[in-house]
A and B are shown apart, each in its own frame.
Chain A
Amino acid sequence: MIEIEGNIRTVGLACGYGDEPILSDVDLVLPSGKVSCILGKSGCGKSTLLRTLLLLERPLAGDIRFGDLSVKELDADLLDQLRRRTGVLFQGSALFNSMTLLENAAFPLIERSGLPRSLARELALLKLDLVGLSRFAHFLPAAVSGGMRKRCGIARALALDPPYLFLDEPSAGLDPFTSAEIDGLLNEICDALATTIVVVTHELRSVERIADHLVMLADRGVAAQGPPDEVRGSGNPAVSAYFSPQRAATPLIDPHDGLASFLLPDEN
């Protein structure tokens, strides 16, 4: 019996769609019981990496290890066990629209735990309460705000108390208060349950609040990884560009006399 817990490691991982890798030679260590943030510009492959870690996409090369378990030796049964130990919040929450928030949060329990329905619903209600949604348990996803759907998505991801929790942009499109609440919640979950949390995000403020470990993606691979201070001080150009971006201005107009030579497409 292989224990599925501990660090997530990738060794020489290449991921992408079709034959063309979007990321290659990815060697990561996402430490157990900590919050790791995966950063990078839009389109740099964050979501692709996440989908590969979730085994929704087949790795083009290399290996992913969850604790002692290598995905190369996965059979149907081990995959099923791994799925049971993984909670995921998708970018668009991916709640089931025909079910109430409570039914959504209870879904993994009913499908996977074999508990009686009434008990599963009670447990799900506890999780909804944890994310502050118990008053809205009987609302349909369409009837609540985007932030509430995200929180319900987290409640559903937490339903089976998974040792691994993956979140794709949990604070994208949320106001600063809700975003801070979600971050607080993630810290709490990480501390209380020793959950290994992997967050893909753009929000630097959120990163400052939650990250114990940073992974910076750029140029088809990992630009830097490690504790936040180490990464920020690494002097890697991709990292500095990300943390203090500056827009290049084109000097076109003479500030003294207001005369400008006009840049035409064929001049440059």
Chain B
Amino acid sequence: MKFVARVNPRDADIVVLLEGGLEHAAPGALGQLVDMVPGPDGRTVIIDLEGVARLGALGVAMLTTLVGGLQDAGHEVRLRVKSDVHKRVIRAFGRDVPQPELPGPEAHILIERLGERTIQMHDAIVRFVLLTQATLASAITQPFRLRHRRSGLTQRSVVAMGVGATPLVALIAFLIGFILALQSGDLLKTYGQTILIADLVGLAVTKEIAPLLTAILVAGRSGSSLTAEIGTMKVSEEVDALTVMGVDPIDYLVAPRLRALLLVLPMLTIVADVVAVAGGITVGWMVYDIQPEAYIEQTTLAVELGDVLGGLLKACCFSIVIVTVAAYQGFATAGGATGVGKHTTRSVVQAIIWIIIVDGIFTALLTALP
């Protein structure tokens, strides 16, 4: 449909006859139309809408612009509307819509914002500490409270978090062992000490890499899923439903996960230890002609039980970090699907950061010990 405007300048009134679809007017057409109208010479400009087929909100807006333009040019303007439909449309959309009040400028004073942030951070820390405390207490005391036997969820979580993650952890651990051996072998070869690959891989993996890597993988895999689950439940009022039924959400949702992960993460770490050493053996055997028996013997000489146990202790701490960070972000979720996505991302990022911080503290403590 086209838009046509006819201006008849010779009559007693200037009649602007609009035809077709007003919303189809080309950009700038209205300005040209205003220029086409002669005067102002005291005559009234009548805009006749009889030929306009449809008049929607957009059409009314165009009309408003046209009338405004003519009035600015000094004309007196009237509308001629016969169709009842048009009248209704104009009545509906031609109103003076109150402008929403914009929020005033925020306080830009640096100190004020710093203070606000500090208070927010303080609140967040307090909430996190309380959550961690409640989670630990619940996870430990739950099995002794007969009324709350929730072994089902713990078992399911063990399967989902542990069995499900095993292939991934094994694959990554094997590759890391493989790469470590290749990199260190290159250097050790120049000293004719390729057998020390076993020491290096064994120690690095059991003390540091296996717990850290497994924890990061599990944070990405199970931590994110826990946050998304709790977050979705929060958004759909299911967490509130638990609360009003007198079922503690931490008790019901978080504690079983923590117990499961306290069991699973050390086990996955052991898997990672073994498989990474296997990666080292593969490189030693294929590239540096070290017999697997010799490699294993060298590993057992280099790695002590304490190194492995230290790594497992780390894994236990990491599982607390993963579950509490994921639960904190889950319970903090608000604002629908976007909120769930945002907090899931935060959960993984923060869990990884805290895992590395805790690892740093741990390593520093263990190294300082005699």
Within 254-268 of A, Cβ neighbours of B (below 8 Å) are at: 258-265, 267-268
Cβ of B82 within 8 Å of any chain A Cβ, yes or no, is: yes
Cβ of B57 within 8 Å of any chain A Cβ, yes or no, is: no
Bound Cα distance A94, B77 (Å): 57
Q: A111-B245, A260-B79 are in contact. Are A94 and B236 (CB under 8 A)?
A: yes
User: Is A111's CB under 8 angstroms from B90's CB?
Assistant: no
B-facing mask of A81-124, CB < 8 A → 1, else 0? 00110101011101111000000000110011010000000000
Q: Chain B residues near A86: list those with CB within 8 A.
A: 244
Cβ of B240 within 8 Å of any chain A Cβ, yes or no, is: yes
Within 35-74 of A, Cβ neighbours of B (below 8 Å) are at: 51, 54, 56
Contact segment of B28-36, B63-71, B176-184, B319-327? B63-71
Bound Cα distance A134, B148 (Å): 27
Cβ of A181 within 8 Å of any chain B Cβ, yes or no, is: no
Looking at the complex, which one of B46, B236, B244, B247 makes contact with A88 (CB distance below 8 Å)? B244
> How far, in Å, is A239 (CB) from chain B's closest CB?
25
Cβ of A192 within 8 Å of any chain B Cβ, yes or no, is: no
Cβ of B91 within 8 Å of any chain A Cβ, yes or no, is: yes
Q: A112-B245, A253-B81, A262-B79 are in contact. Are A92 and B236 (CB under 8 A)?
A: yes
Bound Cα distance A107, B64 (Å): 60
User: Is B244's CB under 8 angstroms from A264's CB?
Assistant: no
Cβ of A249 within 8 Å of any chain B Cβ, yes or no, is: yes
Cβ of A203 within 8 Å of any chain B Cβ, yes or no, is: no
Q: How many residues of A contact B (CB 8 A)?
A: 34
B-facing mask of A216-258, CB < 8 A → 1, else 0? 0000000000000000000000000000000001101100001
Q: Chain B residues near A188: list those with CB within 8 A.
A: none
Bound Cα distance A90, B82 (Å): 51
> How far, in Å, is B88 (CB) from chain A's closest CB?
10
Bound Cα distance A235, B231 (Å): 45
User: Is B244's CB under 8 angstroms from A261's CB?
Assistant: no
Within 230-270 of B, Cβ neighbours of A (below 8 Å) are at: 233, 236-238, 240-241, 243-247, 252
Bound Cα distance A265, B71 (Å): 13
Cβ of A208 within 8 Å of any chain B Cβ, yes or no, is: no
Bound Cα distance A267, B238 (Å): 51
Closest to A89 in B: B241
Besides A83-B246, A94-B237, A94-B241, 15 other A-B contacts (C-beta < 8 A): A83-B244, A86-B244, A90-B240, A92-B237, A97-B236, A112-B246, A250-B94, A250-B95, A253-B79, A253-B90, A253-B91, A259-B81, A260-B79, A260-B90, A264-B96
Interface residues of chain B, those whose CB is within 8 Å of chain A, are 46, 63-64, 67-68, 71, 77-82, 87, 90-91, 94-97, 147-148, 233, 236-238, 240-241, 243-247, 252
List 24 A-B pairs, Cβ < 8 Å.
A80-B246, A83-B245, A83-B246, A86-B244, A91-B237, A94-B237, A97-B238, A112-B246, A112-B247, A250-B94, A258-B80, A258-B81, A259-B78, A260-B78, A260-B79, A260-B90, A261-B78, A261-B79, A262-B67, A262-B94, A263-B94, A264-B64, A267-B96, A268-B96
